[in-house]
């Protein structure tokens, strides 16, 4: 009887182990065959902006490389927090991704009292798409044509010198506050509900300065309706090669780019993240894609997931310091 019981237990153990192994086979096979269905790329903003347009460009070209459709789904709201949170809670199988940019991923956690996701714990960085170069521009009547002249004017003028941006807590706002902290300038932030109206007002002389993306200001600079002061990238913008950087203008190590990239939910298998990163980086080496990104003011910047992850951690710490010092809050 004891022998029979022992034999039965052993049989049950073997059966259980076999079932467990068989259960693992489909999961492993799913990783190897990835992707075998369409992939959803959540853009946590409304259609039409630079972030959305760049996401659609990458989705279209990733579809060709992966052999499966990568489709964009816009989920705007709460400065990008709604759509981003949705992906943080999605199945970590590589079929739901989010287009993340620095404003959502490394600035929102500092300016909101509560953010429903943890940038480091809830996401697996797939890869960086590129850097959207920022530019400081002035109304032609402003008696300052260089960065050092702008800084000097802001210190002399009662109440400081106003600069407009697309809103509180955005990368241009952070860049302006960082400029104050590093140079001692007295720039006063004027938030708008989008960069478009800010650019209209700087042309009309309502405000003297605007900090914005190169893509939005390009035509205005070309036609002389605004004066370019400096770009805050490490190198000059390809589209505006005559405009100096902040570094060239006397501010050591002043680099503030608004990056955009792709993220998967945490615990997405490394093999899937690696596959997506490999294909994304090949897309970013396509001359046609590079040229189209340049028209959006974005410089293609392929990186490994590890490199992108390190940049995210550094920006989280760096912008946290700027936000705290400036007292920037969003409810």
Number of domains in the chain: 2
HEC sequence for the chain: CHHHHHHHHHHHHHHHHHHHHHHHHHHHHHHHCCCCCCEEEEECCCCCCHHHHHHHHHHHHHHHHHCCCEEEEECCCHHHHHHHHHHHCCCCCCCEEEEEEHHHHHHHHHHECCCCCCCCCCEEEEEEEEEECEEEEECCCCCCCCHHHHHHHHHHCCCCEEEEECCCCCHHHHHHHHHHHHHCCCEEEEECCCHHHHHHHHHHCCCCEEEEEHHHHHHHHHCCCCEEEEECCCCCCCCCCCCCECCCCCCCCCCCCEEEEEEEECCCCHHHHHHHHHHHHHHCCCHHHHHHHHHCCEEECCCCHHHHHHHHHHHHHHHHHHHHHHCCCEC
198 in a domain, yes or no? yes
Digit-coded pLDDT (tens) for 244-274: 999 999 999 899 988 999 999 999 999 999 9
User: What is the predicted pLDDT for the residue at 296?
Assistant: 85
Residues 72 and 99 in one domain: yes
Residues 149 and 203 in one domain: yes
Residues 117 and 143 in one domain: no
Among residues 187, 214, 231, the one where a domain terminates is 231
Residues 109 and 141 in one domain: no
Residues 70 and 121 in one domain: yes
Residues 123 and 267 in one domain: yes
User: What is the predicted pLDDT for the residue at 161?
Assistant: 97
The Cα–Cα gap between 305 and 246 comes to 29
124 in a domain, yes or no? yes
93 in a domain, yes or no? yes
Digit-coded pLDDT (tens) for 210-225: 999 998 899 999 999 9
User: What is the predicted pLDDT for the residue at 3?
Assistant: 46
User: What is the predicted pLDDT for the residue at 22?
Assistant: 52
Residues 103 and 146 in one domain: no
331 in a domain, yes or no? no
Residues 158 and 215 in one domain: yes
Sheet holding 298-300, edge to edge: 70-74, 39-43, 96-101, 258-265, 123-132, 298-300
Q: Which domain holds residue 47?
A: 37-131+258-326
- Could you say which residues of the chain have pLDDT below 50? 1-6, 9, 13-14, 19, 25, 27
The Cα–Cα gap between 293 and 289 comes to 6
User: What is the CATH number for 190?
Assistant: 3.40.190.10
Q: Tokens representing 193? A: 């509900």
Residues 82 and 171 in one domain: no
22 in a domain, yes or no? no
Residues 117 and 203 in one domain: no
Residues 281 and 216 in one domain: no
User: What is the predicted pLDDT for the residue at 1?
Assistant: 45
């Amino acid at each position: 009887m004891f022998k029979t019981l022992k034999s039965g237990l052993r049989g049950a153990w073997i059966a259980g182990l076999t079932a467990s192994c068989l259960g693992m086979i489909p999961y492993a096979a799913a990783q190897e065959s990835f992707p075998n269905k369409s992939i959803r790329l959540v853009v946590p903003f409304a259609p039409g902006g630079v972030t959305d347009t760049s996401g659609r460009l990458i989705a279209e070209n990733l579809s060709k490389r992966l052999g499966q459709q990568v489709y964009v789904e816009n989920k705007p709201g709460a400065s990008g927090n709604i759509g981003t949170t949705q992906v943080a809670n999605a199945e970590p199988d590589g079929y739901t991704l989010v287009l993340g940019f620095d404003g959502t991923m490394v600035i929102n956690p500092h300016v909101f009292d509560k953010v429903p996701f943890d940038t480091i714990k809830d996401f697996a960085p797939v890869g960086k798409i590129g850097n959207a170069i920022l530019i400081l521009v002035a109304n032609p009547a402003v008696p300052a044509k260089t960065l050092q002249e702008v800084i000097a004017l802001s210190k002399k003028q009662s109440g400081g010198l106003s600069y407009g941006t697309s809103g509180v807590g955005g990368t241009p706002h952070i860049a302006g506050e960082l400029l104050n902290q590093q140079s001692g300038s007295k720039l006063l932030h004027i938030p708008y509900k989008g960069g478009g109206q800010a650019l209209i007002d700087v042309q009309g002389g309502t405000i003297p300065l605007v900090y914005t993306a190169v893509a939005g200001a390009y035509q205005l600079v070309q036609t002389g309706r605004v004066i370019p002061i400096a770009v805050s990238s490490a190198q000059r913008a390809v589209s505006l090669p005559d405009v100096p950087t902040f570094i060239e203008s006397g501010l050591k190590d002043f680099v503030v780019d608004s990056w955009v990239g792709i993220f998967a939910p945490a615990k997405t298998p490394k093999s899937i993240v690696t596959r997506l990163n490999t294909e994304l980086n090949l897309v970013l080496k396509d001359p046609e894609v590079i040229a189209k990104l340049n028209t959006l003011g974005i410089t293609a910047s392929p990186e490994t997931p590890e490199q992108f992850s390190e940049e995210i951690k550094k920006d989280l710490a760096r912008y946290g310091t700027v936000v705290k010092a400036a007292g920037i809050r969003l409810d």
